[in-house]
Structure 1
Amino acid sequence: MKRTSSIPLSPASVPVPASVHASVPDADADTLPPCAGALADAARDDRNFVTALARGLDLLRAFGPHDDYLGNAELARRAGIPRPTVSRLTYTLTSLGYLIYSESLEKYRLGQGAMVLGQRYLAGSRIREIARPLMQSLAFATDCTVALATADRHEMVYLEVCQPRGALVMRLAPGSRLPTATSAIGRAWLAGLEAPRRAAAIADLEQFYGSRWAPLRAKLERALRDYGRRGFCVAHAEWDRTVSGAAAPVVLEGGAEVLAINIGGAATRLAPEILDGNLGPRIRELADALQGRLWQGHG
């Protein structure tokens, strides 16, 4: 993908957690529904947009990585959907196998239908099959963790993780989540988007973070400028003060699908000069190689 000297951040110019499993620092789960955002609101203005279908998918996405069972009231709060509508949607999704209902708890958990969709995506794209050998080679060569991720609203979700031979420096696994705005891999994903999609995603992040957005925006602007100059983004002890990394986007299907890949480890070992002069260029090279192989695999 051609890199420009500067990537605009503003829609007008375009037409740290306690553990590594925490998702968005300082996010208030009681006031920030994970499934409501500017991106969805814009889509709902499209007359071809099927709101009922979108709301059903929003309910499935309301389940977090550590959730087991959720009731209609909690689903309504998280998704920002009226409770009577949620009741009809959960009934339908249960009938189709996407949710499982516990009569004793009067709550729902994700069903096999949701799992099958994820498995079919991974199998159909051959992403992990193609990426893993390249990622593992770099992990061994650098003694760092290498991971491939996709985006889910305000977070990045790991699809594959390759660890070095030594002790695990980052205890992350497929399914782990990192905040998009403050992680290198999230910033790289934003950098890889076409301008209109990036503007919409950033507007969604701004709505999500509210009053906390201004300092995050300044760092994101700098990261996007850095990507324009050198082809990778970095985050030194930001989303987690013990972790640092560098990342680059993997753009597929002419920009229709964008993933991101990162390399990282302990912040005490990976000083900014190591990220900038060594690991950043290496993850950029890996992203370019992976992009080419995945493009061939899709063709």
Structure 2
Amino acid sequence: MIKKITHIATASEQSVQAGGNAKEDRHFVTALARGLELLACFRSGDKALGNQELAERCQLPKSTVSRLTYTLTKTGHLDYVDSLGKYRLGSATLALGSAMLARLDVRQLARPLMQELADFSQGMVSLGMRDRLSMIYVENCRSQTALTLSLDVGSRIPLANTAMGRAILAEMRADERSQLLTQIQQADEAHWQTVAKEIQLSISEYQELGCCTSFGSWQKDVNAIAVAFYPGNGMPPVSINCGGPAFTLSSSFLLAEVRPRLLDLVRRLKLSLGT
């Protein structure tokens, strides 16, 4: 297996992603936002986190985090594990996630088609949705014989430098994309010039090829292509990628053999969804 790769936004990144001048909005409830940010600090693979770990991830005072964890435990969004002195996500959080996934008809329709493509490519095929400056996997298929990435439902990957994220940027309206690009720039000024150039190239290739690529730009040993589309019913765009280790999924194979099948997969899905 390729090493497991996870991504979590820092508190400063989350603040940017939440919408710029949120604190100046009289309708914005800061305490609620902080509680949601704290829940977002739990990533795939975390069994339990203590107040100190949460404070570091959220970049909030430990005293503030202690009050938040106490409240979220009372509401059932967190469970306190006595033996560890730490917290894990509670059933109320699971209920929220399950309700959201249940609304995604595209998952059930896409899964057999995604598995077919995973078996053909010997890679991993995933369906993802945007959460601020990240993409979250909501469905995942892999070949039984494939050497693939250790990512699964709930895993996060960056929006700006992955094929899945770039396809979302390419598919959305220009005004929405402009707002997101501003947030990406504010979150990482140091690398913005490089990131902006790569995103612009991705948008151009999306118009030309019908898909976005990421050949070593996220992780140097990972290749992927992705296509985004709107699943209907007022849902935001979703993205389907196919990727894996570069030594088993070459860029030429992905473009020549996988790309037409991925485009056909999305076409069939859109017909089934009536979009």
Q: TM-score, normalised by structure 2?
A: 0.85
Deviation of the 1:99 alpha carbon: 0.7
Given that residues 38 and 203 in structure 1 are in contact (C-alpha distance below 8 angstroms), is that contact kept between their aligned partners in structure 2? no
Q: What is residue 174 of structure 2 aligned with on the other side?
A: 195
**1:213-237: CA deviation from partner (whole Å, max 9, x where unpaired):** 3222211111112112232101112
Given that residues 11 and 37 in structure 2 are in contact (C-alpha distance below 8 angstroms), is that contact kept between their aligned partners in structure 1? no
Secondary structure of the residue that 1:108 maps to in structure 2?
A: strand
Letter paired with 1:248: V
Q: What is residue 229 of structure 1 aligned with on the other side?
A: 208
**1:174-208: CA deviation from partner (whole Å, max 9, x where unpaired):** 23332222211111122222333322332332233
Q: What is residue 12 of structure 1 aligned with on the other side?
A: none
How many angstroms apart in 2 are the aligned matches of 1:288 and 1:50?
Answer: 41
Q: What is residue 42 of structure 1 aligned with on the other side?
A: 20
Q: What is residue 101 of structure 1 aligned with on the other side?
A: 80
Query: Does structure 1 residue 23 correspond to structure 2 residue 23?
Result: no
Structure 2 residue ranges without an equivalent (≥5): none
Which runs of structure 2 are paired with 1:116-135 in the superposition (5 Å)? 116-135=95-114
Letter paired with 2:44: P
Deviation of the 1:295 alpha carbon: 5.0
Query: Does structure 1 residue 263 correspond to structure 2 residue 246?
Result: no
Query: Does structure 1 residue 207 correspond to structure 2 residue 186?
Result: yes
Question: Which of the residues 87, 112, 118 maps onto 2:91?
Answer: 112
Question: Which of the residues 131, 138, 158 maps onto 2:137?
Answer: 158
Q: What is residue 11 of structure 2 aligned with on the other side?
A: 33
**1:254-285: CA deviation from partner (whole Å, max 9, x where unpaired):** 76412110112332343333333332233223
**Deviates most, 185-194 or 202-211:** 202-211
Secondary structure of the residue that 2:237 maps to in structure 1?
A: strand
Deviation of the 1:292 alpha carbon: 3.7
Q: CA RMSD in A?
A: 2.8
Question: Which of the residues 249, 253, 258 maps onto 2:228?
Answer: 249
Which runs of structure 2 are paired with 1:5-20 in the superposition (5 Å)? 20=3
Given that residues 234 and 280 in structure 1 are in contact (C-alpha distance below 8 angstroms), is that contact kept between their aligned partners in structure 2? no
Q: What is residue 10 of structure 1 aligned with on the other side?
A: none
How many angstroms apart in 1 are the aligned matches of 2:258 and 2:21?
Answer: 38
Q: TM-score, normalised by structure 1?
A: 0.79
Q: What is residue 136 of structure 1 aligned with on the other side?
A: 115
Secondary structure of the residue that 1:173 maps to in structure 2?
A: coil
How many angstroms apart in 2 are the aligned matches of 1:132 and 1:233?
Answer: 21
Deviation of the 1:19 alpha carbon: 5.2
Letter paired with 2:16: A
Cα pair distance change 1:262/1:57, threshold 3 Å: same
Deviation of the 1:290 alpha carbon: 2.0
How many angstroms apart in 1 are the aligned matches of 2:150 and 2:45?
Answer: 16
What is the aligned-residue identity percentage?
A: 38
